[in-house]
Structure 1
Amino acid sequence: MPPVSRHLRKVIAAVLIPFVAAVVAGLVVLWPGGVPKHERSGVGFDQQTQSGRVVKVEDVKCSDVNAEPDTGAAPSPGPASAPSGPAVCERATIEVVSGKDAGRTFTEIVQPTQTRHYTKGQKVLLAYAPQAPRELQYSVTDVDRAFPLWLLAGIFAAVVIVVGRLRGVLALIALVISFAVLTLFILPAILHGSNPLLVAVIGGSAIMLIALYMCHGLNARTSVAVLGTLCSLLLIGVLGSVFIDWALLSGNTSDETGLIHSLYPDIEIRGLLLAGIIIGSLGVLDDVTVTQTSAVWELREADPGASRRRLYSAAMRIGRDHIASVVNTLVLAYAGAALPLLLLFSIAERGVLAVAGSELVAEEIVRTLVGSIGLVVAVPLTTALAVLVVSADRGSGDTVPAGTGRGHRRRAK
């Protein structure tokens, strides 16, 4: 690795140590101490839940259980078609397997037009409404997907470890710590009424410091990536704040945000939108800054005599390729997440400008473009910082073009 002078290490430390101290202080001051309790509404995600299991499934006539299927279409004006026989529904017997009512059973009727069907032995999640009549207290809210998700997570971890070896293990540990910061600090702190933007900046900075230094080591190369990420996050925060206000985005565009606001009225929903932009951009930013810093370090090692301008130009050629792929990835990721919404607008035959002007789509446009600007700026910014650091010990020799006797003069010293 190219040398870094002691003086430059002190300069980097003088910048980063106060930043790290501020992050630690913010964690201590804003630490929430758990999710605040509230009286459950019994609506949507706020329902009490238990585990259940399907113990029996049988076919019954829909008319016998007062569950005539809804075809979802108006009667045809043409001649009546031949009768196809009585509609057949499924009657599933569900057993509660957790909570104070473990062992209790109830039935669910599944119409033939429903997309979800049950099989004997299938695990399900149950919604519990204690205030409802006894026969209506439990209902199936979803299937239990724990096993396939844990299996997929295990495969992911195995692939990362096999390919990444020690770095892969460290990356997984950093991922667990990042998830812990998100669930133990960021989410509870926002629910306690702390400013979402401040919480996102502090929590995101903590995740960045832990992930980068754990995976890439405590050295000048990682410190440059941290500085590049920090500056880019600052730009994203400023741009996001300006354009969220300018575009009059409320952030309250979904059932989830509406429910959160009804349960915790003190939460600033617009700040929650900005916090989401910052946290969502953080992972891709880490990738960009680490890649550019590593590129500069490797280029310097391959050609120690390269001038700063030549080193910067070579690294930027790599960075421009990275920009093209990362921006496209980010846009497609947001488009994929909003695909059902875009389909609905297509069905409504609304024009592109009308669709883009709706708050639902405008929110995603601002999120995508602000994050993309931060990513693009991170490339030249981090590259310039890295070039300055790796060239710090070279003195005035940078003014001599490569291949004009520099090696002879260095050996003569």
Structure 2
Amino acid sequence: MEPELVTTHDHGGPVRASRHTQLILGIVMAILVAATAVGAVLLWPHDVPAKQPWLDPGATLVTGSVVEVVPNDGQTGHLVVQLDDGSRVEVPGDPSAPLSEVHLGQRVQAMTLPGQPGAYFIDYERTAPMLALLAVFVAVVIAVARWKGVAALVGLAAALTIVWTFTLPALSIARNPLGVALVTASLVMFVVVYLAHGISVKTTTALIGTFLGIAVVAGLAWWAIPATSLTPLQDEVMGQLPSQFPGIDARGILLCGMVLAGVGVLNDVTITQASAVWELREAAPTASRRTIFGSAMRIGRDHIASTVYTIAFAYVGTALALLLLSSRLNFTILQLLTFNTVAQEVIATLVASIALVAAIPLTTALAAWLAAPMPPEPAPARAIID
């Protein structure tokens, strides 16, 4: 019997994009990098005023441990605090920190004034427990995600550094808030995405999808804030900005905040969708783009269903005290939602949710187009051996 030699085409391993696709993505990313660099140079805060002291003139911030609680001293009660230098001071009770909740050994921060006995309560000292939580967070991330977790943590640190050294100083000297928001989002995305997920066609596809979503957030927020007559200066914290930063645009700060709030959730869904498309393409190398898109969108719809209410309840959790107070007053839920303080958060949630939903099909379609099907395998070749 004559043996057969059959030629096969192995589809194992990661699906690779064509050189043409890589060239297109390279050009797009080069344009985005150049635009980000130009924006950063133009908006970089070179003339930031010196920071102001937050304590009274001559005051000193001290820390120590509570060694005695005196609830009834004829006035508000007081704490006896042993400072880190070994001395003891009396700290009057503060309504924001009821003495009934203070325990011996609790760490506190206080302010001392020259020529005055005792000290004034500032806040609890939370460094140790916060560092413990941070250590657990880092350990869990690294244990589960391994080197990708390490890269993600480095990216997070870099992103927070960008916000602290560029975003906040730029806003403080009245740089264009929308420009600052877009440059910040772009810098953060370049660093975080490529550090956490590596440089690849899949990652670049997700990044472009994120940029499209950010554009949607910026456009919607730019329209919605004046259209709904939001007045951010009614907020207690926002109302202090004009006195500290002359010429600052409060609505612009609100706009910047909405854009940056959308960055995290957008990156989450775009990475998921891009990964889904490339995994589906690897599993079905010859499937049509339409088939891959349809399969990935079924994943995307599940992601939409879960993420939308995640965003909503994230706000409910942070604003629970405000909502609880509002529930005691005699007005409808619709009236509550249209009040300025609540409306700001509702509009921010809606803007982010619209952009999130829009980013999923946009990213999926882009990824499905870039992950082109491979040509079908040729018919097996037969060779006859005499």
Bin of the TM-score, shorter chain as denominator length: 0.7 to 0.9
Amino acid in structure 1 at the alignment position of 2:92: E
CA distance in 2, matches of 1:112, 1:292: 46
Q: Secondary structure at the match of 1:348?
A: coil
Quickly say closer, same or farther: Cα 1:55–1:177, change in 2 above 3 A. Answer: same
- Aligned match of 1:94 in 81, 88, 93? 81
Which of 144, 156, 161 is 1:180 aligned to?
161
Matched residue, 2:102:
118
Distance of 1:129 and 1:374 partners within structure 2: 52
1: distance between equivalents of 2:301 and 2:190?
Answer: 26
C-alpha change, 1:263 and 1:97, in structure 2 (3 Å) is farther
Which residue in the other structure is 2:41 paired with? 28
Question: Which 10-residue stretch deviates more, 1-10 or 301-310?
Answer: 1-10
Distance 1:166 1:344, change over 3 A: same
What is residue 57 of structure 1 aligned with on the other side?
68
- On the 8 A contact 1:23/1:206 being kept in 2, the answer is yes
CA distance in 2, matches of 1:267, 1:115: 40
Pick closer, same or farther for the CA change 1:244–1:151 going to 2, 3 Å. Answer: same
Amino acid at match of 2:116: R
Q: Please tell me the residue identity of whatever aligns with 2:207.
A: V
Question: Counterpart of 1:18?
Answer: 31
In structure 2, the residue matched to 1:235 is 216
Q: Are 1:286 and 2:299 an aligned pair?
A: no
> How far apart, CA to CA, are the structure 1 residues paired with 2:191 and 2:377?
40
Counterpart residue type for residue 52 of structure 1: T
How many Å separate the matches in 2 of 1:334 and 1:183?
Answer: 24
Supply the distance in 2 between the matched residues of 1:49 and 1:230 (Cα, whole angstroms). Answer: 47
Residue identity (%): 36
Residue of structure 1 in register with 2:5 after alignment: none
Structure 2 stretches lacking a partner, 5+ long: 1-13
Call closer, same or farther: CA 1:96–1:259 in 2, change over 3 Å: farther
1:205 deviates by 0.8
- The aligned amino acid for 1:7 is H
1:357 aligns with 2:368: no
The answer to whether 1:382 aligns with 2:366 is: no
Q: What secondary structure sits across from 2:237 in the alignment? A: helix
**Which residue identity does 1:122 align to in structure 2?**
Q
**CA drift at 1:325:** 0.6
Aligned equivalents of 1:113, 1:146: Cα separation in 2: 18
Q: Deviations over 1:225-275 (max 9, x none)?
A: 111000110011000110111001122243221222221122211111111
Structure 2 counterpart of 1:275, one-letter code: C
Are residue 2 (structure 1) and residue 21 (structure 2) matched?
no
Q: Which secondary structure state, in structure 2, belongs to the residue aligned with residue 134 of structure 1? A: coil
Partner-residue secondary structure (3-state), 1:189? helix
Asked if the contact 1:54–1:118 (Cα under 8 Å) also holds between the matched residues in 2, the reply is no
Select the residue among 315, 337, 341 that pairs with 2:296: 315
Residue equivalent to 2:245: 264
Q: CA deviation at 1:135?
A: 4.5
Q: Does 1:108 align with 2:119?
A: no
Q: Counterparts in 2 of 1:28-177, with a 5 A limit?
A: 28-32=41-45, 36-40=49-53, 50-54=61-65, 56-59=67-70, 61-63=72-74, 66-67=75-76, 89=77, 91-94=78-81, 97=84, 105-109=89-93, 114=98, 117-127=101-111, 134-135=116-117, 138-177=119-158
Q: Distance in 1 between matches of 2:172 and 2:104?
A: 40
Q: 2-side partners of 1:93 and 1:52: how far apart?
A: 12
Q: Does residue 199 of structure 2 align to residue 218 of structure 1?
A: yes
Conserved in 2, the CA contact under 8 Å of 1:127 and 1:140?
yes
Does structure 1 conserve the Cα–Cα contact (< 8 Å) formed by 2:155 and 2:191? Answer: yes
The alpha-carbon deviation at position 97 of structure 1 amounts to 4.8
Structure 2 vs 1, CA of residues 371 and 116 (structure 1 numbering), >3 Å: closer, same or farther?
farther
Q: Is the 8 A contact 1:261 1:267 kept in 2?
A: yes
TM-score (norm 2): 0.87
Q: CA deviation at 1:32?
A: 2.4
Letter in 2 for 1:114: P
CA distance in 2, matches of 1:329, 1:290: 17
In structure 2, distance between residues paired with 1:381 and 1:47: 58
Structure 1: distance between partners of 2:335 and 2:96: 38
1:310-351: CA deviations, max 9, x gaps? Answer: 111000000000001111100110111111111111011211
For 1:407 and 1:240, how far apart are their aligned partners in 2?
50
Q: How far, CA to CA, are the matches of 2:167 and 2:252 in structure 1?
A: 13
Residue 329 of structure 1, aligned match among 295, 310, 325: 310
- Does 2:358 align with 1:371? no
Deviates most, 216-225 or 381-390 = 216-225
> In the alignment, which residue of structure 2 is the partner of 1:85?
none
Q: For residues 269-321 of structure 1, give each alpha carbon's deviation from its aligned partner in whole angstroms, at most 9, with x where no partner exists.
A: 11111111111111111110000000000001101121111111000000000
Q: Does the CA-based 8 Å contact 2:152-2:195 persist in structure 1?
A: yes
Distance 2:106 2:138 in 1: 27
Report the count of equivalent residues.
369
Residue 57 of structure 1: SS of its match in structure 2? strand
Aligned residue identity for 2:91: T
Identify unmatched segments of 5+ residues in structure 1: 68-88, 398-405
Does the C-alpha gap of structure 1 residues 122 and 175 become closer, same or farther in structure 2, counting only changes over 3 Å?
Answer: same
Higher RCO (CA-CA < 8 Å; seq separation 6+): 2
Q: Find the aligned partners of 2:223 and 2:369 in 1 and give their Cα distance.
A: 31
Shift of residue 171 of structure 1? 0.8
Residue pair 1:62, 1:111 contacting (<8 A) in 2 also: no
In structure 2, the residue matched to 1:400 is none
